[in-house]
């Protein structure tokens, strides 16, 4: 019985997240559209509201093309690896008090592990596609995931030190539910590092090098089409959701807000996550793309030393006061 209820919850979460993914693309296209003095989708449904559904149906009914020279197993496996890993990390995210599928004590590490695993999907796609542009995209992704995973992990060590836990619910509770208690204030350096690393981890502008369309056509997903491509796309958007949630949980007090909302305690969480998503999109509309070596330079020469310094600073402060 317990398993059945859990399965029901999983189904519910999965459905909600997939709907979110669909409408996150709409959200993105509308915002970018208005930032770029155009309308965004307008044709399907009222103000294009059914556009994501139409896109989904289109991708679903497209011919499943597997190019002749690819490695069929890796080619089929890659999108699945990406999406599964990303969706798995949803399990530990607390959306509201008690609204969490698996309240495990190593929640933060689990999210890192899963987001690291998702990188393999991209690398595998680049390798299995047997195409030169895909291969370069895969290589870039590999280098990027390794470098920025470190910065991302280190930036959150300060949060771990302050809250004394890796459990995401505990981290939220440790911030006390007040405005002043949010870790963004004592951990502003960490947040800066986290934010940049988060963009890189999700392959978003200005770090979208693995799929830089101007250089690598479409990078690792060049050979993909139809539903397999859509799965990569979903993985990217779930990744954005996971990273935004992580930022909200670790720095902005998770579900806590100025007043409690009856029936839907996750409201503040959702609002904060969407604020993050908006910034993601805003940056995409504004920034040019980094060059591959400049990206490495930023990661290794700035973010990692900064994150390390922050750890030392936090530890010393915590020991003294």
Positions that interact with other proteins (CB under 8 A): 32, 35-38, 132-133, 136, 205-206, 208, 212-217, 284-294, 296-297
Torsion sign (Cα): 15, 211, 274, 176 = positive
Please give the structure tokens belonging to residue 58: 């289109």
62 versus 289: smaller Cβ distance to other proteins = 289
220 versus 255: smaller Cβ distance to other proteins = 220
Q: How far is the CB of 205 from other proteins (least distance, A)?
A: 6
201 versus 208: smaller Cβ distance to other proteins = 208
Q: How far is the CB of 235 from other proteins (least distance, A)?
A: 21
Q: How far is the CB of 39 from other proteins (least distance, A)?
A: 11
173 versus 208: smaller Cβ distance to other proteins = 208
20 versus 140: smaller Cβ distance to other proteins = 140
Q: How far is the CB of 289 from other proteins (least distance, A)?
A: 3
Q: How far is the CB of 141 from other proteins (least distance, A)?
A: 13
Q: How far is the CB of 296 from other proteins (least distance, A)?
A: 5
222 versus 314: smaller Cβ distance to other proteins = 222
């Amino acid at each position: 019985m317990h398993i059945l209820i859990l399965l029901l919850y999983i189904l519910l979460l999965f459905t909600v997240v997939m709907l979110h993914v669909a409408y996150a693309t709409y959200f993105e296209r509308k915002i970018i559209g208005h930032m770029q003095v155009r309308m965004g989708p307008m044709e399907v449904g009222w103000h294009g509201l059914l556009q994501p559904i139409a896109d989904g149906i289109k991708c679903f009914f497209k011919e499943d093309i597997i190019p002749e020279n690819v490695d069929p197993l890796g080619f089929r496996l890659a999108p699945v690896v990406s999406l599964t890993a990303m969706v798995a990390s949803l399990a530990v995210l607390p959306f509201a008090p008690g609204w969490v599928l698996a309240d495990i004590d190593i929640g933060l590490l689990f999210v890192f592990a899963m987001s690291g695993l998702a990188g393999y999907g991209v690398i595998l796609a680049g390798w299995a596609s047997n195409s030169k542009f895909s291969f370069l995209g895969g290589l870039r992704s590999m280098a990027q995931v390794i470098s920025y995973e470190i910065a991302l992990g280190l930036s959150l060590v300060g949060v771990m030190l302050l809250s004394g836990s890796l459990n995401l619910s505990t981290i939220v509770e440790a911030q006390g539910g007040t405005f002043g208690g949010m870790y963004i204030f004592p951990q502003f350096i960490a947040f800066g590092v986290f934010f940049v690393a988060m963009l890189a981890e999700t392959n978003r502008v200005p770090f979208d090098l693995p799929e830089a369309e101007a250089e690598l056509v479409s990078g690792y997903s060049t050979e993909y089409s139809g539903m397999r491509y859509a799965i990569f796309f979903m993985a990217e958007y779930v990744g954005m959701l996971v990273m935004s949630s992580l930022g909200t949980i670790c720095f902005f007090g998770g579900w806590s807000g100025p007043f409690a909302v009856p029936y839907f305690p996750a409201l503040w969480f959702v609002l904060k996550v969407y604020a993050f998503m908006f910034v993601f999109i805003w940056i995409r509309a504004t920034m040019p793309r980094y060059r591959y070596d400049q990206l490495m330079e930023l990661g290794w020469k700035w973010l990692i030393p900064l994150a390390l310094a922050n750890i030392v600073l936090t530890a010393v402060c915590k020991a003294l006061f």
